[in-house]
Every structure is written in structure tokens, then in C-alpha cells.
């Protein structure tokens, strides 16, 4: 059973501490929701876990299946089964989406699959999130709507089948149909691949579709509350103040 | 016109040429006769005599020598070229063989070299014709029978001068006169080898023709001359490949390309320059485009320590069009890649487009010097220049000197220039998708030159792709 363990993580950006002593442990097949007000450090945590160079880890470590992966290159973390869906992925208009998906498939699985098979996987990953193949000919995220970006992030998750997946606001800027498709992708991989999740969100909406085992609340870079689904309901009804004030 | 799908993987050529560069092929002792070094009248007379040239050619050479001595060294050249002692170089290196029409007649050691470069096989598989040059002389020339039947002439310049002296004389150094600058004059004096192609009226070639040039002697200077005349309503794609193994001393390349597309004709000229690092490359490229003719330059200037190349088109006829797509790469300390296209609009309704892309890292220097000129009377001219530099580190430099001279008010001349650094967020995104830093970098670099890659035949795009990837391996090795 795979497990992502974040132990006592303290992170700095340009000399300023933005995450302090964060502990979090996610096992395969579990869904953890990570909530918190704007600027509480949710996105920073996801980027620090993946190894963004701007985020300096001052203390603590990140373990995947017992292995210390704190200082590994991002691509090495991905190879070991970690995934991040970005909140707002950067546009790369010089690279075609199909080129990216083929390259990441080959990087992840090694080039043992024939190019034709890879292309089929890539095409079906896009169709699985309700998009047409023609989107593959466009530059990566070039002129994509918010919803299309989120769906393509999900398509890549389906392609790489991670052990543990971090989703940064997969539901923001997405309409009801889009939300359903994204939730389906999450559930599909949980069932078929026993993927474990950290889902960063502001809304209870998505948690009605995917059933979180635990909800954590981050404030000012620290986990201030953890609990069951009822915590999300409480926040939805009374705002973050209800859980943060203690 | 659709280009026929090329059958052979040209990757092999580039692999072998890279092998040669990295000294993995043992440098053979080629038997060659070097005419005494020294830039003197009697040396030039001897070269001309050896080639049994007509009188006009010798006169042109001597005029070239005279001009070379008279003309000033261009003041914008990098030091290494301004300080080059031409007279100390091997100005004419004659391989110990004649020009064959059959590879079996080529001496073993030279044939093996071309074989290892993959050129013999690529000729069999997809080229319509090939001229191969070793040192100063062509060692092989052949054009497929069906082209000969259509009246296509493709010969080494030496053979062409012998067989079609009048035809050659009509165009030779008319498009690029020796008086133009010091190195054009030098070229006129010492020109040796190269290719002459004549495509008759209404003949449209669908498979490319290739010229391949090898420098094999240290401190050699090579001055091959390529002249292509496409008669009315004809078309041709000529591919030029260059290679040199890593030699002990600098070599100098001062080649010239003259293209002439007559009414409604089209010439596409593709160069993949991958000289080894100790070659100094000065290339003179100029074209004439008559009424409704098209000239397309595609240039990958990847190898050589110092390379200067400025594909130029004179749009002489109404409705003539020219494009120039140039990629240069400077990836080592001391690398100097100087490029820039020139488009001279001399007739109404002419169009030109220049796309120049520079890639720099490890302290290399890229320079763009371009010219758009719209002459009086060239009404309704349209010109577009795009010049982008991508720098992968902080020790690398890129300079852009665009120049416009516009004499007609209704001309539409647009210029766009961008200087780009590697985008860290894009790099991070690719890494978070499991792609390692090197692969991610080359994906972004290749993306940067994608609009030029799309103009290349598939095999050449693959080859360019590979050369760039291999060069990028060295990224950061210096810092």
C-alpha cells in the first residue's frame, strides 16, 4: 500500500516562511480534502511537494512509500507515482498538446509501447474527459477555456495513473457538466487504480461527488483543523472563521 | 507543388557526420596535392591551368585577386575573421582523383568516408542527383537518367565550364559580382568545385537534388560555387549539406551560391550547415527572382565556430516572392553566428518574408543583420521580418541590427523582434509531467523553431532535431 507522508514541512519563499510544520499522510485509495482561505498556503504546499525551485524546504521531509523524495527532481517524483493537476497551468504555445502527451507517456512508461499505441492512449485520454481529438493539435493550453484546462489536467492524470494525486482546485471555473466529468475521472482512478488524493478546494460542491475520508484546513501555512466530511459542511455554512478561531 | 515523400532516413547522414566530427571515424591520410600556399598571381594561374579553364574564367579570377587586395576588410567582422591570414592557408587542395560518375571509380578511402556519412545510400534512395565535393574538387557527379532526358543539367562547376562554357559564362558571378566585398573577390579568385544546375523551361522537379561538401585537410580553405538557373515556369529544390571532421587547425570556407529563378520559376534552397567547430564559414548567397518567380531560402546554421551567412534575394520582376527562414545556434564559448537575410524589392507587387531564429547558450553569440530595401518604383511591396532570439543562460548574447530602406510610400514593411529566456514555469510544468530537464529543454527549444522545422522535408527536420538535441547535451557544461 502506497503512502505519501509529509513530515513537519517548513517552506520558505524568498526568505519568508509560508508553510510551517505541516504534517499530512495520504494512503492509496483515500481522499483528503485540503481547504483554507485564500493565501493560506494550499497551492504553495502542492508546488513545494512537487519540487518547484522557488519553494525552499527548510525543515521536514516528504516520503513516498517510505522513500525520502524531498530533494528529488520533479520528474523523478512523478516517475514514482506522484501527480499534480495545476490550478492554472502555464500556456506553452510552442509545443503541441499531442507532443506533450506523447512525451510524458514515453517518459513515464519508457518507450516500450509502439508510437501508434501511445497515440491511441493519448486520444482516448482526451475523449475520456469529454473533449474532441482536435484539441490535440493546439498549443498546450493555448487559448483554452478554464474548463478545458482542468479537463486536460485530468486527462493527463488518467494517462499517468498516479498512486497519489494532488489536485489544486480542480473544480474552480468549471460548469456543472465539467464538474461531473472531473469527479468521474477522480472516482474512476480511485476504483481502477486505487489512487489516493489530496484535493485542494474552496467549495463543498465537488465533495458531494467525491467522498472525502478526511478534511484538513490550512491557515497561515499551518494545518489548523482535521476532521470528517462534516468539517466541509461547517465551512460551507459558517465560513472559515468557524474552524479557524479556535 | 507537393514534395515527394523521401524514402531514406537522413538521420543516418547526420549521425555519421556527427561521428566524424567527434573523431569516431579515424581520419584517413588522404593523398592530395596542395598547390603552394600563398595568394599570388602565379598560384591562381596554376589553378586555372590545372582546370583547363577558358580565358574569361582566368580573367575573372585575376580580377578577383586584384579586388581582394584593394577592398577593405569589412569593419563589422568578428576578430577571428578580420585577422585571418588567408595566404597561409591551403588555398587549393586537389584530391588525387578525377570526377567519377560511378562510386566504384572513386578511391577507396574517399568513398568510405562518403559511405560512412550515409551519402551514397541516400543518393540511391531518394535523390534525383548528387554532386559530392572533397577538398577543392568534385569527386562524384551524377544525375538520374530521367532528368537528363528532360534536359536538366547537373554537373560539377568544373565539368559545366568545360561542357557548357557559354551557358555558365552567362550567369557565373553576375548575380553576386566579385566587386561586392573582399570575400566575394577572394571567392572569385580561388573558386573551385561546387555545382551547376540548369532546369529547362516547364520542367518541375519533384525530388530534391543535393550537393555535399567535405573539408578534409587542416587549414584548408574551400571556395565552392553553386549556381542554379531555373528557366521559366520550372521548379527545383536543392539541398546543400556540409561536413568536416574535427581537424587540428582552423579551416576556412568561403563558398558562394547564386540562384536565378526566371519568370514563374521556383527555387527552394535548403542548407544544413554542420561544419565542425574549427571551421570558419563565410557564405555568400544571393538570388534573382524574375516576374512571379519564387525563391525560398531555408538555412540551418548549426556547426562551425564562426559562421556568417546572409541569404539575399533581389526581387527584380513584378509579383516576385521570396522567403528566408534561418536558424542559427551558438552553443560554445567563442561561437559566433552571424546571419541575416536581405530582401531587395526592385519591382512592383513583390513580397518577402524573413524569419530568423537564434538559439544561444554556453556563452555563444548570435547576431542578426538584416536588410529590407524597397527601391523607387517598387510599388505595393510587402515585407515582413521576424527575428527571435532564445537565450538559455545569462552568459550568452544576442544582437539584432535590422535595417530598412524604403523609397516607396505605399510599401508595407513590418518588423517584429523578440528576445526570450527559457521560461522557468514552462520548464517546471514539463518536469511535473515526468519529462527530465534535458528533454524538456529541447522540447522548448524545438518548439521555438517549429515554424522553420515545418518547412523542412521530414528527414531533414529529424536531422536538425537531432543535431540540436546533441548540442543541448552540452548545455551548462561550461558554466
Closest-CA distance of chain A to residue B154, Å: 40
| Residue in B429, B436, B439 nearest the CB of A89 | B429
User: Counting Cβ atoms within 10 Å, is residue A203 exposed (0-12), middle (13-18) or buried (19+)?
Assistant: middle
| DSSP assignment of B196-235 | EEEE-TT-B--S-EEEEEE--STTBEE--EEEEEE-TT-E
Do residue B444 and residue A94 have CB atoms under 8 angstroms apart?
yes
Distance from CA of A91 to the nearest CA of B (A): 7
Q: What distance in Å separates residue B435's CA from the closest CA in chain A?
A: 6
CA distances from B225 to A170, B259, B304 (A): 62, 11, 19
Q: Compare CB distances from B432 to A74, A99, A103 and report the shortest one's residue.
A: A74
Q: Is B434 close to A95, i.e. CB distance below 8 A? A: no
User: Which of A107, A109, A139, A140 to mutate to probe the B interface, most B CBs <10 Å?
Assistant: A107
As averages over each run of 10 residues, the pLDDT of chain A (246 residues) reads 95 95 96 94 96 95 96 96 97 93 91 83 93 94 94 96 97 90 95 96 87 94 92 88 76
Q: What is the dihedral of CA A82, A88, A89, A94, to 10 degrees?
A: 180
β-partners of residue A46 are none
Q: In this structure, what DSSP letter does residue B179 have? A: G
User: Would strands B129-134 and B251-261 be described as parallel, antiparallel, or unpaired?
Assistant: unpaired
Q: At A105, which CATH number? A: 3.40.50.300
Per the structure, the complete domain to which residue A23 belongs is given by 3-244
Nearest to B45 by CA among B61, B29, B64, B68: B61
Distance separating alpha carbons of residues B299 and B368, to the nearest angstrom = 14
Contact state of B434 with A99 under an 8 Å Cβ cutoff: no
Domain ranges of chain B: 11-472
According to DSSP, the β-strands at B382-391 and A92-96 are: unpaired
Q: Is the ipTM of this complex over 0.90?
A: yes
Are B433 and A99 an interchain contact pair (Cβ–Cβ within 8 Å)? Answer: no
Residue B252 CA to residue B280 CA, distance in Å, equals 5
Q: Looking at CA atoms only, how far is residue A54 from chain B in angstroms?
A: 10
Q: Which of residues 301-360 of B touch A (CB under 8 A)?
A: none
Q: How far apart are CA A135 and CA A140, in angstroms?
A: 9
In Å, how far from its chain's centre is CA B465? 18
Query: Would you call B444 an interface residue with chain A, using a CB distance cutoff of 8 Å?
Result: yes
Distance in angstroms (rounded) separating the CA atoms of residues B300 and B356: 10
Alpha-carbon gap, residue B414 to B406, rounded angstroms: 11
B426 touches chain A (CB under 8 A): yes
pLDDT in tens, chain B (479 residues): 344 433 333 444 445 445 444 443 333 333 333 444 467 888 888 888 888 899 999 999 999 999 988 988 877 777 766 667 776 666 666 665 666 667 777 767 667 766 766 666 666 665 666 667 666 666 666 767 778 889 999 888 888 999 999 999 999 999 999 999 888 999 999 888 888 999 999 999 888 887 777 665 556 667 889 999 999 999 999 988 766 555 556 678 888 999 999 999 999 999 887 777 777 888 899 999 999 999 999 998 887 788 889 999 999 999 999 999 999 999 888 889 999 999 999 999 999 999 999 999 999 999 999 999 999 999 999 999 999 999 988 899 999 989 999 999 999 999 999 988 888 999 999 999 999 998 899 899 988 988 788 777 766 777 677 777 777 777 765 43
pLDDT value at residue B27? 36
Q: Label residue A114 exposed, middle or buried (CB < 10 Å: 0-12, 13-18, 19+).
A: exposed
Side-by-side strand order, sheet with B412-421:
B137-143, B129-134, B209-214, B235-243, B266-273, B294-301, B321-330, B351-360, B382-391, B412-421
Residues 6 or more apart whose Cβ sits within 8 Å of residue B27: B216, B245, B247
Let me know: does A201 contact A33? Beta carbons within 8 Å: yes
How much is the pLDDT for A223?
Answer: 94
DSSP-assigned letters across all residues of chain A: --EEEEEEEEEEETTEEEEEEEEEEEETT-EEEEE--TTSSHHHHHHHHHT-TTEEEEEEEEEETTEE-TTS-HHHHHHTTEEEE-SSPPPEEEEEHHHHHHHHHHHHH-TTS-HHHHHHHHHHHHHTTT--GGGGGSEETTT--HHHHHHHHHHHHHHH--SEEEEESTTTT--HHHHHHHHHHHHHHHHHH--EEEEE-S-SHHHHHS--SEEEEEETTEEEEEE-HHHHHHHHHH-THHHH--
Q: Any chain A CB within 8 A of the CB of B430?
A: yes
Helices B119-126 and B11-21: angle between axes, nearest 10 degrees: 170
Nearest to B219 by CA among B368, B89, B356, B69: B89
Which of B429, B445, B462 to mutate to test binding with chain A, by most A CBs within 10 Å of its CB?
B429
Contacts of B418 in chain A (CB under 8 A): none
Cβ contacts from A onto B, under 8 A: 66
pLDDT of residue B271: 87
CA distance A88 to A168: 9
Choose from A92, A98, A122 for mutation: most chain B CBs within 10 A.
A92
Domain count, chain A: 1
**Widest distance between CA atoms in chain A:** 57
Residue B145 is classified by DSSP as: H
C-beta of residue A144 within 8 angstroms of C-beta of residue A200? no
Which contiguous run of DSSP H or E holds residue B469? helix B458-472
C-alpha cell at B58: 582566368
Rounded Cα–Cα distance for residues A23 and A41 (Å): 13
DSSP annotation of B375 reads -
Give pLDDT, residue A154: 96
B434 touches chain A (CB under 8 A): yes
B170 CB neighbour count, 10 Å cutoff = 11
The residues that bridge with B401 in the sheet, in sequence order, are B369
Output the nine-digit C-alpha cell for B79: 576578430
Amino acid at each position: 500500500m502506497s503512502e505519501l507522508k509529509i513530515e513537519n514541512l517548513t517552506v520558505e519563499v524568498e526568505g519568508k516562511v509560508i508553510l510551517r510544520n505541516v504534517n499530512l499522510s495520504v494512503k492509496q485509495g483515500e481522499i483528503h480534502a485540503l481547504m483554507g482561505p485564500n493565501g493560506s498556503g494550499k497551492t504553495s504546499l502542492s508546488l513545494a511537494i512537487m519540487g518547484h525551485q522557488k519553494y525552499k524546504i527548510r525543515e521536514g521531509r516528504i516520503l513516498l512509500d517510505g522513500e525520502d523524495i524531498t530533494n528529488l527532481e520533479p520528474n523523478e517524483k512523478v516517475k514514482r507515482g506522484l501527480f499534480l493537476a495545476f490550478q492554472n497551468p502555464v500556456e506553452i504555445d510552442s509545443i503541441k498538446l499531442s507532443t506533450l502527451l506523447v512525451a510524458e507517456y514515453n517518459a513515464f512508461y519508457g518507450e516500450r509501447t509502439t508510437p501508434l499505441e501511445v497515440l491511441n492512449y493519448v486520444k482516448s485520454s482526451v475523449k475520456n474527459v469529454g473533449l474532441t481529438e482536435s484539441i490535440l493539435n493546439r498549443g498546450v493550453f493555448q487559448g483554452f477555456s478554464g474548463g478545458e484546462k482542468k479537463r486536460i489536467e485530468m486527462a493527463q492524470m488518467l494517462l499517468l495513473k498516479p498512486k497519489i494525486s494532488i489536485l489544486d482546485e480542480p473544480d474552480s471555473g468549471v460548469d456543472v457538466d465539467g464538474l461531473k466529468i472531473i469527479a468521474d475521472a477522480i472516482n474512476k482512478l480511485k476504483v481502477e487504480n486505487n489512487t489516493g488524493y489530496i484535493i485542494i478546494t474552496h467549495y463543498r460542491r465537488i465533495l458531494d461527488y467525491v467522498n472525502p475520508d478526511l478534511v484538513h484546513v490550512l491557515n497561515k501555512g499551518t494545518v489548523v483543523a482535521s476532521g470528517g466530511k462534516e468539517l466541509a459542511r461547517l465551512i460551507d455554512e459558517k465560513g472559515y472563521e468557524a474552524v479557524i478561531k479556535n | 507543388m507537393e514534395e515527394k515523400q523521401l524514402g531514406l532516413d537522413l538521420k543516418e547522414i547526420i549521425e555519421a557526420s556527427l561521428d566524424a566530427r567527434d573523431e569516431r571515424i579515424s581520419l584517413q591520410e588522404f593523398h592530395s596535392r596542395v598547390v603552394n600556399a600563398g595568394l599570388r598571381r602565379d598560384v591562381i594561374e596554376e589553378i586555372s591551368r590545372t582546370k583547363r579553364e577558358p580565358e574569361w574564367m582566368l580573367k575573372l579570377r585575376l580580377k578577383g585577386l586584384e579586388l581582394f587586395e584593394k577592398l577593405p576588410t569589412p569593419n563589422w567582422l568578428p576578430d577571428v575573421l578580420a585577422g585571418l591570414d588567408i595566404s597561409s592557408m591551403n588555398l587549393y587542395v586537389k584530391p588525387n582523383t578525377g570526377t567519377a560518375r560511378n562510386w566504384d571509380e572513386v578511391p577507396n578511402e574517399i568513398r568510405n568516408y562518403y559511405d560512412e556519412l550515409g551519402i551514397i545510400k541516400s543518393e540511391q534512395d531518394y535523390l534525383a542527383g548528387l554532386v559530392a565535393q572533397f577538398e577543392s574538387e568534385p569527386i562524384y557527379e551524377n544525375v538520374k537518367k530521367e532528368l537528363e532526358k528532360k534536359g536538366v543539367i547537373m554537373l560539377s562547376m568544373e565539368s559545366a565550364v568545360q561542357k557548357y562554357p557559354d551557358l555558365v559564362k552567362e550567369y557565373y558571378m553576375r548575380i553576386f559580382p566579385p566587386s561586392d566585398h573582399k570575400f566575394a573577390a577572394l571567392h572569385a579568385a580561388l573558386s573551385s568545385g561546387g555545382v551547376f544546375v540548369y532546369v529547362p523551361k516547364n520542367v518541375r522537379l519533384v525530388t530534391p537534388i543535393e550537393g555535399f561538401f567535405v573539408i578534409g585537410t587542416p587549414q584548408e580553405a574551400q571556395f565552392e560555387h553553386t549556381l542554379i538557373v531555373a528557366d521559366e515556369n520550372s521548379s527545383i529544390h536543392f539541398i546543400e549539406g556540409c561536413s568536416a571532421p574535427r581537424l587540428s587547425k582552423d579551416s576556412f570556407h568561403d563558398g558562394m551560391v547564386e540562384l536565378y529563378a526566371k519568370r514563374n520559376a521556383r527555387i527552394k534552397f535548403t542548407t544544413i550547415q554542420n561544419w565542425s567547430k574549427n571551421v570558419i564559414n563565410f557564405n555568400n548567397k544571393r538570388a534573382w527572382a524574375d516576374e512571379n518567380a519564387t525563391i525560398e531560402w531555408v538555412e540551418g546554421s548549426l556547426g562551425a565556430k564562426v559562421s556568417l551567412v546572409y541569404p539575399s534575394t533581389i526581387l527584380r520582376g513584378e509579383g516576385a516572392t521570396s522567403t528566408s527562414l534561418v536558424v542559427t545556434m551558438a552553443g560554445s564559448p567563442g561561437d559566433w553566428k552571424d546571419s541575416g537575410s536581405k530582401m531587395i524589392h526592385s519591382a512592383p507587387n513583390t513580397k518577402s518574408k524573413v524569419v530568423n531564429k537564434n538559439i544561444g547558450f554556453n556563452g555563444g553569440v548570435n547576431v542578426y543583420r538584416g536588410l529590407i530595401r524597397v527601391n523607387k518604383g517598387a510599388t505595393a511591396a510587402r515585407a515582413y521580418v521576424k527575428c527571435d532570439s532564445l537565450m538559455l543562460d545569462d552568459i550568452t548574447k544576442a544582437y539584432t541590427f535590422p535595417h530598412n530602406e524604403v523609397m516607396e510610400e505605399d510599401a508595407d514593411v513590418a518588423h517584429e523582434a523578440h528576445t526570450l529566456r527559457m521560461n522557468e514555469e514552462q520548464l517546471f510544468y514539463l518536469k511535473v509531467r515526468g519529462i527530465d530537464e534535458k528533454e524538456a529543454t529541447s522540447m522548448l527549444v524545438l518548439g521555438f523553431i517549429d515554424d522553420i522545422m515545418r518547412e523542412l522535408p521530414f528527414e531533414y527536420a529529424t536531422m536538425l532535431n537531432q543535431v540540436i538535441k546533441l548540442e543541448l547535451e552540452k548545455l551548462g557544461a561550461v558554466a
